[in-house]
A = this chain, B = another copy of it.
């Protein structure tokens, strides 16, 4: 069914054009007209793939989350120590390179936009809280976490650290460079884990 594949592929290309428009002009610039132009399509052609702006924006956002989830799953399959894996996963959720910076920018712009718009509530902000909770359980399962931690509070704290860092990396990129982000996340994971035994 090559036609269906093409259709999905084209929708993804349009979503990527949407990210570029939001990245460069903010949500205000994310009109169907601007997005069509960025994607090299006529307005009519764009409407063939997305009948409303709302549908297009929701799809573009879901794709951000889907891709991050995919990257996390890829890391989860790799051979490395649980602690290193944890840090690598966290680094997928903060903007340490240009692509992730753009995704994060779109994520925040969209999130604040939709608070005041009529976008359906089930497309509302969906963060990575459950994923982070599971990652901590994974460390606990491997016997790596310090004794006496409250997993739920630790997940809440880690989730705050991740999104706080993402926010600051966007707004205060002069101070918060990628190598500093890596140090903060690594030191946090160290602080909730037992003393090292080369793990």
Q: Could you say which residues of chain B place their CB within 8 Å of the CB of A168?
A: 127, 129, 159-160, 163
Q: Could you say which residues of chain B place their CB within 8 Å of the CB of A116?
A: 25-26, 28-29
Q: How far is the CB of A178 from chain B (nearest CB, A)?
A: 13
Bound Cα distance A166, B16 (Å): 29
Bound Cα distance A180, B157 (Å): 11
Bound Cα distance A127, B174 (Å): 13
- The answer to whether B171 and A111 touch across the interface, beta carbons within 8 angstroms, is yes
Q: A54-62, A71-79, A183-191: which one contacts chain B?
A: A183-191
Bound Cα distance A59, B188 (Å): 37
Q: Could you say which residues of chain B place their CB within 8 Å of the CB of A127?
A: 168, 171-172
Contact of A159 among B129, B156, B162, B164 (CB under 8 A): B164
Q: How far is the CB of A169 from chain B (nearest CB, A)?
A: 10
Q: Could you say which residues of chain B place their CB within 8 Å of the CB of A160?
A: 160-165, 167-168, 184
- The answer to whether B26 and A157 touch across the interface, beta carbons within 8 angstroms, is no
Q: Could you say which residues of chain B place their CB within 8 Å of the CB of A188?
A: 157
The verdict on A125 contacting chain B, using a C-beta distance below 8 Å, is: yes
The verdict on A112 contacting chain B, using a C-beta distance below 8 Å, is: yes
The verdict on A197 contacting chain B, using a C-beta distance below 8 Å, is: no
- Chain A residues close to B by CB (< 8 Å): 25-26, 28-29, 108-109, 111-113, 115-116, 124-125, 127, 129, 150, 153, 156-157, 159-165, 167-168, 170-172, 175-176, 180, 183-184, 187-188, 191
